[in-house]
Structure formats: structure tokens, C-alpha cells
Amino acid sequence: MTESLRIGVFICHCGTNIGGVVDVPVVAEYASTLKNVVHAECNLYTCSSDGLECIKSAIQEYELNRVVVASCTPRTHEPLFRATCEGAGLNSYLFEFVNIRDQCSWVHMHEPELATEKAKDLVRMGVAKAALLEPLEELSSDVIPSAVVIGAGISGMTAALSIAKNGFYVHLIEKEREMGGLLSRLYKLYPTEELVDDFLEQRIKTVGGHERVELHLSTSIKNITGYVGQFKVILDENGAEKSIDCGVIIVATGAKELEPEGLYEYDGKRVITQLQLEEKLRRDALNVDGIKNVVMIQCAGARGEVVRYCSKICCMNAIKNAKLIKEANPDINVFIAHNELQAYGEEYELYYRAAKKAGVRFLRFPREKRPKVRTSDGKLIVDVFHDRMQMNIPLDADLVVLSVPLVQNPDAESLSKLLKVPLGQDRFFFEAHVKLRPVDFATDGIFLCGTAQGPKDIEESISQGYAAASRATIPLAKGYVRSAAITSSVDEAKCVGCGICESVCPYGAIAVVETEEGRRARVTGVKCKGCGTCGSSCIKKAIEMHHFTDEQLIAQERAAFVIEAVVSG
């Protein structure tokens, strides 16, 4: 570094929030004695417009080339101070934040002297790091203004249509010969009891007919490369290979019914699944078969039997089918053996009541005593232990219907590897944050919706389809993505290409490639989030984190313990 270091330090009183505990003028006085510090001052509120003006004029007046603010938290205020530095002509990464509110005045409010000492320590550390800061640039790259949506079930169709309506081109990819997904195999929807065929027909027409939606039916994904804004998707469309460039990708691959092999005497004939029942209902086959007693068993294979989770939709789906059977054939007895009943929300509770009114009989069994299906003289009998009456009730059945959970499609595994996005413990695609980012992946530019994320009903699948469309439209509408300046970089002279970094990177941002010098790790800056995982796992110390270099952090740590070295003499 040829230029001489000129560091300015600004210590905030925050009214009495910091000033009431920490002796701010003393800390400022101390800061002015530190090596490379040419200016130190205290402000009543550094973040107020007056305070920001002080920073700007000090940068001019004292020709500062590094700025340290000791105040509250970078979570809320770092962008403000960075922008202020930028505004005064200083690269915004030449700014260092020291938090003396949360870490001093708040946690040590009853020990003001010690809080002041700690504030001095933190400021000294911040100054030591600031001396080694380097200017960084945020890079921006273009976004191809089109989307790929994988899966043309209800959520994928919804997402594709909304992105198209937002003004962008969409490739909708479906492995089957038709759109509609799992939904197309159902008979009616709950709670409206609208015919699925009518419902789907209209939507398929709208989506397929949109000028900005290009359908790829009977198509599978061969390969995916690239990153947000610049993806390349290789398709196998009816045996022909096709390449598509796009800016964003939405995963809407849906789910399938669990096959209840070996459970409850399942045979696909007299003991069937709800989906098989829907197919019978579509053909009005119950009358034909002369069925008198139908017993539905909830949580078959779910909630600890085969899978651990509750599949969310099975209670309402069973209630719907039971009600439809009962209304069409009042002479048929329909029983639903259940444990908990998931009639959540506004409509479903009412629908549950309507089914009861229609004559559907509900029997609750304890979770640890699931029903048993047996055959006696060729007849099917379902033994249900009644929870409230605490006794076994044997039910004659001509047809047993198992409400089995939705499970992940088997090909999700390979898609997750192609996209480098994770599956959860339940095998469903794992979103970026369970609470706050339900339709995002941690990797930028890739989104998800519908039952690929977990069991959900039609309405919620549609809602997520729109949500994914909104998230995916953002980079398309912007037209560019800005990559963070705080990324990692590889010193190829030190790298031995072991690949540990690649295996730990949660964003698929670092990969080992063949170079003329041999195997070396390379970072794709646009994908990197600067989390530092690769850096900390590199056994050759070949990876450096910009803005958090080993040199900077060690200097900061040394300053915590070696006081004299950083006080100017």
C-alpha cells in the first residue's frame, strides 16, 4: 500500500442510549491516540443528517481514506454509513463498523467503567482492521429475460402464466404428454366440488394459449449449468436434444401418492388408495360394484408409519370423497377412521360439518392404536379402536380406502443434483428458510412451488405458484443482478484441487475445474454469498474472503490483546 493511512473515527452517543453508560468523549479521546487515526470525534447521533454531514466534511477536511463508526448495529445502519462514504468519494468498503451499543452500553449497563473500557477495546480492534481494508467493487451481470418452469401441474402452470402476464417469456417443461399433473387424476375439488376436468380444461387452455408460454411436453431435463441470470438448460424433448438459455428456474415438479405395499392388506382391488377411489368415482364404478360399506383409514403410512410427517391434504380429500359417495348413494355406509382431523382454516371446518350432516360417520382411533384390516370368511373387516368409547369396533367393509401421504417423486433426487439445491429429511425440496423464504432456494435465481416443497392443497399450490412467479420476476424485471463484493477468491498457486470447498459450499458457487496447471477450485462471483465456509475449510489456506481476509481478522484479534502496538507513539 503506497498511500498513507488516514483513519477517521466517529463515536456516537445515541442520545443517552450509548452516552448514558459509555463515556463517549473518553473513547473518542482514546481513539485519537491510535495509530493511523488522524481524526476522532463524538456525535450526539452519528446517523442523523448532522452526523452524516460531519462524516462527509471530515473525509474532505482530513483527507480520510478509512472511516470507522462506533455506534449501534451494522444490521440496521451499515448501509447508511457505507452510502455516506460513497457520497463523499470514498469506496464504501473502506468503512468499518464497531458496535458499542449492543456490545457495551446494553449488555454492560450496570458497569459503566468496564463498558467504556470495552468500547475502547472494540474501537482499537476496528481501527486495526480498518488499516488493512481494501476497496471492493460490486459487479453486475445481465439477466436473460426468460424463465424455465419445471413441471406443468397446477402450481407450475400458475407460475408460468403469471410470469408471462408480467411480460416475460416462459418455457414450461412437463415430462408427461399433457399438463395438469397429479390434479388431472382427481374427480372433484374440495370444498367447491367443482369437476376437476372442467377446472383444468380452462386453465390448460389459458396457459397453453398464452403468447409468451412455450410448452415442452414429454420432455425431461438432461443438464443444467450456469447461475442466476445466465442458466443453460438442456432438454430431451421427445428424444430430441434442445438447449434453452434463461435467467431464472422454477421447480414445480409435484409429488406422488405413497404406494402402501404391505400395509392394511392393500391389494389395489378391495383395499385401494384415495387416488384409486377417485378414478373409480370418475367412472361412477361404486354402483356397478354393488358396494354397501366403505371404510377409509387416515394416516395410512403417515405420521410415523412409513413417513414421519402429516400429509396435510388427506383428511379433507377423504371427507370430500366420503361426502360425494354418500350424497350420490345414500344407502352406502361410509366410515372415516381417523386420529387427528386436519380440517384447518375457514372453509374446511365447515366442509367437515357438511360431511357429517350428509351422514359420513367419523371414528377416532388413538395414534398408538391404528386400525387393522383382516379377512373373515372372505369378507373384509376393519377393526377400529374407538378412542372415546375405549373399545374395539369391527366394521364390515366391501371397500377399504387408504388415505396415504404424498411423497416426493423418485426423480427429484437427480434434479436436486443438477440444480445443486437440497432435499430435506422428508425428501421434499428444501427451501431457503422454513419461515421467511417459503418459495426461494438458498441459491439465487432458483425458486420452488407446489407439492415439490411439501404436501399442500390446490389453493395453496396456486398461491405458491403466484409467489414463485413474483420472486422469479424480480431479476427478470431488473434486467441485471448485482453480485456481492464480499466474496471468496482462490489462490490457484496454493490450491491442490481437493474439492473440500466445493462439497461444503451451500450455494454451488465454487467448483473444481481442470486447468493447465491441474485441478483447481474456481469461484463464480455472482453465486457467492461471502459466507466464508469454503475459506474456513480450505486445508491449504488457498481461499481468501474479501473484506474478511486472514490478515484483517488477525490484525483485529491481535489488537484485542496487544494494546501497545496499535497506539501511535
Task: Considering only residues 494 through 533, tell me which ones interact with other proteins, judged by CB under 8 A.
Answer: none
Decide if residue 304 touches other proteins (CB under 8 A). yes
Give CA–CA dist 523/511, Å, rounded. 7
Which position among 82, 326, 471, 546 is part of the footprint of other proteins (CB under 8 A)?
471
Stretch that binds other proteins, among 269-277, 283-291, 304-312, 535-543 (CB under 8 A): 304-312
Select 114 or 477, whichever has its Cβ closest to other proteins: 477
Instruction: Kindly state the cell numbers that stand for 334.
Output: 361410509
Which position among 388, 410, 516, 561 is part of the footprint of other proteins (CB under 8 A)?
388
Q: What are phi and psi of 358, to 5 degrees?
A: -75, -10
Give CA–CA dist 543/550, Å, rounded. 10
Contact 338, 372 (CB under 8 A): no
Q: Which residues of 157-173 are buried (b: 16+ CB within 10 A; e: fewer)?
A: bbbbbbbbebebbbbbb
Give CA–CA dist 309/369, Å, rounded. 18
Decide if residue 107 touches other proteins (CB under 8 A). no
Decide if residue 111 touches other proteins (CB under 8 A). no
**Residue type, position 75, single letter:** R
Among residues 199, 158, 208, the alpha carbon closest in space to that of 178 is found at: 208
Contact 242, 233 (CB under 8 A): no
Contact 60, 53 (CB under 8 A): no
Which position among 91, 140, 470, 549 is part of the footprint of other proteins (CB under 8 A)?
470
Smallest gap from Cβ 166 to other proteins, in A, equals 5
Q: What stretches of 210-313 show up as alpha helix (H) in DSSP?
A: 274-282, 285-289
Smallest gap from Cβ 380 to other proteins, in A, equals 27
Select 181 or 535, whichever has its Cβ closest to other proteins: 181
SS3 346: helix
Q: Residue 469 belongs to what H/E stretch?
A: helix 458-478
Select 353 or 379, whichever has its Cβ closest to other proteins: 353
Decide if residue 103 touches other proteins (CB under 8 A). no
Q: Interhelix angle for 550-561 vs 112-130, to 10°? A: 150
The mark string for 426-465 relative to other proteins (x by CB under 8 A, - otherwise) is x-x----xxxxxxx-------------xx---xxx-xxxx
Which position among 34, 442, 467, 505 is part of the footprint of other proteins (CB under 8 A)?
467
Residues between 197 and 226 with contacts to other proteins, criterion CB under 8 A: 199, 202-203, 206
Smallest gap from Cβ 365 to other proteins, in A, equals 12
- How many residues line the site for other proteins (CB under 8 A)? 77
Residues between 332 and 361 with contacts to other proteins, criterion CB under 8 A: 340-350, 353
Give CA–CA dist 460/439, Å, rounded. 12
Give CA–CA dist 201/125, Å, rounded. 66
Select 4 or 76, whichever has its Cβ closest to other proteins: 76
Select 62 or 309, whichever has its Cβ closest to other proteins: 309
Select 210 or 222, whichever has its Cβ closest to other proteins: 210
Contact 374, 383 (CB under 8 A): yes
Decide if residue 110 touches other proteins (CB under 8 A). no
The DSSP bridge partners found for residue 385 are 392
Stretch that binds other proteins, among 33-41, 62-70, 307-315, 524-532 (CB under 8 A): 307-315
Smallest gap from Cβ 412 to other proteins, in A, equals 15
Cα–Cα distances in angstroms (integers) from residue 246 to residues 36, 95, 442, 472, in the given order: 49, 37, 19, 11
Which position among 85, 173, 189, 412 is part of the footprint of other proteins (CB under 8 A)?
189
Which position among 86, 327, 387, 398 is part of the footprint of other proteins (CB under 8 A)?
387
Among residues 94, 77, 38, the alpha carbon closest in space to that of 61 is found at: 38
Select 453 or 483, whichever has its Cβ closest to other proteins: 453
Smallest gap from Cβ 271 to other proteins, in A, equals 24
Which position among 4, 376, 390, 568 is part of the footprint of other proteins (CB under 8 A)?
390
Select 143 or 542, whichever has its Cβ closest to other proteins: 143
Dihedral of alpha carbons 316, 321, 325, 327, sign: positive
Smallest gap from Cβ 388 to other proteins, in A, equals 5
Contact 116, 26 (CB under 8 A): yes
Smallest gap from Cβ 309 to other proteins, in A, equals 5
Decide if residue 82 touches other proteins (CB under 8 A). no
Contact 528, 552 (CB under 8 A): no
Which position among 107, 225, 285, 308 is part of the footprint of other proteins (CB under 8 A)?
308
Contact 23, 112 (CB under 8 A): yes
Contact 513, 519 (CB under 8 A): yes
Among residues 103, 99, 101, 83, the alpha carbon closest in space to that of 91 is found at: 83
Decide if residue 242 touches other proteins (CB under 8 A). no
Smallest gap from Cβ 212 to other proteins, in A, equals 9
DSSP 6: -
Which position among 75, 232, 374, 494 is part of the footprint of other proteins (CB under 8 A)?
75
Smallest gap from Cβ 87 to other proteins, in A, equals 14
Select 78 or 236, whichever has its Cβ closest to other proteins: 78
Residues between 148 and 177 with contacts to other proteins, criterion CB under 8 A: 161-162, 165-167
Which position among 32, 192, 218, 243 is part of the footprint of other proteins (CB under 8 A)?
192
Give every strand in the sheet of 169-173, ordered side by side: 213-216, 169-173, 146-150, 248-251, 446-448
Give CA–CA dist 67/144, Å, rounded. 38
Which position among 107, 474, 513, 560 is part of the footprint of other proteins (CB under 8 A)?
474
Q: What is the CA radius of gyration of the chain?
A: 31
Residues between 253 and 292 with contacts to other proteins, criterion CB under 8 A: none
Residues between 33 and 52 with contacts to other proteins, criterion CB under 8 A: 44-45, 47-49
